[in-house]
Chain A
């Protein structure tokens, strides 16, 4: 019984850490402008819209975060193998991983912007200096919480994978969950704020991102504080739920029915989420209504 209580405590802590990690990951990738929405930041100068947005083209979020977390976990493991205190090892590992992330961000911005010289997009050194440090800060939060979560899973819950392998697995999962949830909000809602609310961006408007802020010209920090209000916490809850439910159903129900208990609980959870999603979809159709008359008018 005590074992299960201890397991539930660690599970809850891991879920909380994962929530923070998801929120920080999304904010970091929105301030850096990484992943699919970044294609618009790249496209805008080619359509004649120069801007002061950071163009961080370091792969997509899943592989990039796979690297940062695996790196943080790997260096932490190495320090732990040298008998350094576990918490200090994790902090040092994550600090070094964050440094490497920062270097990658700067080289990506310089490379992409220099290759857009034909369209007159300048390299803004002040953007390079101010945005990089902010993304590094958010990245440190994401990396540290995820590596700690992996360490708990390995050391306290007894998962067979060593720490760097767990870091790789959860890093890619973190990037996938955060990117899936946060990208549309940043891409459509903030980058294309001037388009109609409640509708997608028409293809004819591609490249015409918002480049002016409340006062002066917009930079990535303006994008960051906006997305941190909804997309950040949503990504956090998404990844937190993923981690928490995965750990919870295993810790409590694995002993039940020789493993079948966890499977049945998992299937029930999938069905519950499916029902919730269907409810959201139907609610949207009823509440928002169609854009045009259904099918009688040729669209």
Chain B
């Protein structure tokens, strides 16, 4: 790679972001359990907010990991996060209300072992490798769990596997029209994989700024939440899905505008229909 990667200077320390991301994500995902307690689907959008928090945390983890020059591209970190997170998340959905905690624990174990394999067997010898891959696996599992909870209203396995099909005006339970039966998890998988690695990949460069990257991670999180909310129209009630769409739209619009403001602040120049300056030609 011919791109120079720089070390973090100043800003919020990574461990603070990790703690905040983990706690906010877990709290938001648990708030979707209110759906079960109240028997309504209105709290589904909290799952999306939990996923946004996890994405923000994950983007900062990738930044920490890639500062050490891993030799391959940034997108692979997103792929391995999701590849390890998806199994942990689906195993955890068996455990009812304990699902998010089980997902975090199982993902941590998988991530730690993968980190050990990368660092020691594959001789990458990067100081933060094991910790970063552990964090990435947890981020992958939580992001998937958040979007799944938003799209199905719940995070238990039976909610994922059963949907409805309209037959002569009656709603019959159906497996083929469910979240798993229709393989919507594949779309959410890719949404999360690209969303986690995009903020660092897009803000890569000598003038990397933490607040700009974090704002981009919120933007990309809300954009993914918007896509998932549109897909949830098929799985939960129209009202709850519209609520998710509106929350996602508002969140996305605000963060996108903020990102434009921050980019304008950081750019060398903000030109419209002008040529590039000629005198800056180099050797």
- Bound form: Cα–Cα A162–B264 in Å: 43
Contact residues on A (Cβ < 8 Å of other chain), bracket: 35 or more
| Nearest chain B CB to A91 CB, angstrom units | 14
A163 contacts chain B at the CB level, 8 A cutoff? yes
Residue pair B256, A63 in contact (C-beta under 8 Å): no
B188 partner residues in chain A, CB cutoff 8 A: 74
Residue pair B75, A125 in contact (C-beta under 8 Å): no
A121 contacts chain B at the CB level, 8 A cutoff? yes
A70 contacts chain B at the CB level, 8 A cutoff? yes
B264 partner residues in chain A, CB cutoff 8 A: 123
A136 contacts chain B at the CB level, 8 A cutoff? no
| Nearest chain A CB to B8 CB, angstrom units | 14
Residue pair B272, A124 in contact (C-beta under 8 Å): yes
Which one, B47-55, B154-162, B179-187, is touching chain A? Answer: B179-187
A261 contacts chain B at the CB level, 8 A cutoff? no
B1 partner residues in chain A, CB cutoff 8 A: 39
- Bound form: Cα–Cα A161–B176 in Å: 11
Residue pair B271, A124 in contact (C-beta under 8 Å): yes
Residue pair A125, B183 in contact (C-beta under 8 Å): no
Does more than half of chain A's interface fall in helix, strand or loop, or is it mixed? Answer: helix
Residue pair A81, B177 in contact (C-beta under 8 Å): yes
Q: How many residues of B contact A (CB 8 A)?
A: 73
Question: A110's contact among B166, B260, B283, by CB below 8 Å, is which?
Answer: B260
A15 partner residues in chain B, CB cutoff 8 A: none
Chain B, residues 184-223, CB within 8 Å of chain A (1/0): the string is: 1011111101100111011111111100110010011001
Question: A111's contact among B216, B273, B274, B277, by CB below 8 Å, is which?
Answer: B216
Residue pair A111, B263 in contact (C-beta under 8 Å): yes
Question: A64's contact among B183, B194, B276, B280, by CB below 8 Å, is which?
Answer: B194
B281 contacts chain A at the CB level, 8 A cutoff? yes
Residue pair B282, A49 in contact (C-beta under 8 Å): yes
- Bound form: Cα–Cα A74–B179 in Å: 10
| Nearest chain B CB to A62 CB, angstrom units | 9
| Nearest chain B CB to A103 CB, angstrom units | 6
Chain A, residues 183-218, CB within 8 Å of chain B (1/0): the string is: 000000000000000000000001000010000110
A64 partner residues in chain B, CB cutoff 8 A: 194
Residue pair B270, A66 in contact (C-beta under 8 Å): no
Chain B, residues 243-279, CB within 8 Å of chain A (1/0): the string is: 0000000000000100110111011111111111100
Which one, B27-35, B137-145, B226-234, is touching chain A? Answer: B226-234
B1-38 contacts to A, CB under 8 A, are 1-4
Residue pair B207, A107 in contact (C-beta under 8 Å): no
Residue pair A42, B186 in contact (C-beta under 8 Å): no
A66 partner residues in chain B, CB cutoff 8 A: 190
Residue pair B274, A123 in contact (C-beta under 8 Å): no
Q: Given the known inter-chain contacts A59-B198, A100-B227, please indicate yes or no for A112 contacting B269, CB distance below 8 A.
A: no
A152 contacts chain B at the CB level, 8 A cutoff? no
Those 8 A-B pairs whose CB atoms lie nearest each other, nearest first = A48-B282, A115-B205, A74-B187, A111-B202, A122-B269, A78-B234, A162-B183, A165-B183
List chain A positions with a Cβ less than 8 A from chain B. 39-40, 42-43, 46-52, 57-60, 63-64, 66-67, 70-71, 73-75, 77-79, 81-83, 96, 100, 103-104, 107-108, 110-126, 161-165, 167-168, 171, 206, 211, 216-217
